[in-house]
Amino acid sequence: MSARKPGPLLVANAHLVDGAGDHGIGDLAVEGGVVRAVGAGAGEGLDAERTIDAAGALLTPAFLDLHAHLREPGQEVKEDLASGLAAAAAGGYGTVVSMANTTPPVDEPGLVAELLQKAERLGGTRLRPAAALSRGLGGETLTDFAALQQAGAAMITDDGIPVADGRVMRSACEYAAELGLVVQTHSEDPSLRAGGVMNEGVVSQTLGLPGNPDAAEAAMVFRDCEVARLTGARVHIAHVTCKRAMQVVEHFKALGVPVTCEVTPHHLTLTDAALEGFDPVFKVAPPLRTEEDVAYLREAVRRGVVDSIGTDHAPHTRAEKERDLLTAPFGLPNIEVAFALLYTELVLGGELELDRLLWLLQDGPAAVMGWPAPRLTAGAPADLTLIDLTRERPVEPRRFLSKARFSPWAGEMLRGWPLLTLVGGAPAFELEEVAS
């Protein structure tokens, strides 16, 4: 990315939509990294360096992802900041919270600072690193939350590894509550999960594979919500996958406990039946569940129980994912296809309104973190994405900007692909065919 400050830009004839509503077809001017003006006459007095004719494409605030594995430091063979942030921009994301389960884990303030400095040099999608809850992700000794926050850590989480010790979780939440930090969980009971590689149920029994029961998730979600009730901490339950766990979240929300939750694109669109071909591409943690679970998650999304959609983008090398199901790592890449997948499956499928999907990627995650709601208003940061909702094209992993060039949805025809992503008014991603 060039270090040159972006010049004034006009996006003309765009369909303007944000969390405040549908503003119809209009223009939006960008100058100095912020939105200068919106609507008729937005370009008046603007010495635009560039004008883009959106031709009715959707222009909306760039998405926020509170849950992505960018693998740096130490696992750059899977992904690094350059490839991960580029992939995020291609998916329409303007801000990404990176997870701390790297090598070494992000458990020291210096590591947080280094990530932020490198991301700043790269430009593009904004990085907000998460920091580890426990030293070395060992689940025993807390990290220095205050120092990590001062260095720029956006949240605290050992995601990828459950915090098994309830006393450690309580201490973490008490500490985080004092600082106003969000604690994100990986809620699975390790003793119940054991060696499960997929959902425990009819499919796992048929395939003869060790299962991971929904009880492992529901039991730990209950504990983590109880700790939130006890401490008053802002606890965000990551990647809820099953009906029983979502019902637990609903119960505690009804009590006024400060818990929030996310679901992922893969848990909204895939079931454990995908593993019938023994393909480790579908091996994720927590696992893909049943049709009943997927249906309940979708209903919870519609009813407003779910606060955000986090990608849990988890890249690996192709060689790792080509091992057998017992030894292949958990996780899949999805940040580049997340919006198109959800728009096609849920919005065009008649199960979700577009404004609700956008809320789950914009206002919802912002509210979880206590950030300002993204808006298309004068003075707002010019973090924007322009999306073609009409043209259909296939998922082509070979074209991914992520280093993980494989996908459960390879070859599927989807609509809703980002054409352009601006971060601070500068292009972070742009398709060659965007008209100027």
* Complete domains list, the chain, with CATH: 9-59+379-430 (2.30.40.10), 62-369 (3.20.20.140)
Catalytic positions are 312
Q: What is the pLDDT of residue 6?
A: 82
Question: In this structure, are residues 30 and 36 in contact, taking their beta carbons and an 8 Å threshold?
Answer: yes
Average pLDDT over residues 114-131: 97
Average pLDDT over residues 233-240: 98
pTM score, whole prediction: 0.97
How far apart, in Å, are the Cα atoms of 184 and each of 98, 228, 322? Answer: 12, 11, 30
Q: What is the pLDDT of residue 40?
A: 85
Q: What is the pLDDT of residue 117?
A: 98
Confidence band for 2, pLDDT divided at 50, 70 and 90: very low
Average pLDDT over residues 245-261: 98
Read off the pLDDT of residues 44-99 as tens digits, 9 standing for 90 and up: 989 999 999 999 999 999 999 999 999 999 999 999 999 999 999 999 999 999 99
How far apart, in Å, are the Cα atoms of 14 and each of 38, 52, 283, 384, 418? Answer: 10, 9, 39, 12, 13
Half-sphere exposure of 332 (CA within 13 A, CB side): 26
Q: Torsion-angle region of residue 282: left (phi > 0), alpha (psi -120 to 50) or beta? A: alpha
Q: What is the pLDDT of residue 100?
A: 98
Q: Does pLDDT of 208 surpass 90?
A: yes
What CA–CA distance (Å, rounded) separates 400 from 383? 22
Q: What is the pLDDT of residue 4?
A: 54
Across 4-8, 12-16, 240-244, 287-291, least confident range: 4-8
Q: What is the mean pLDDT of the chain?
A: 96
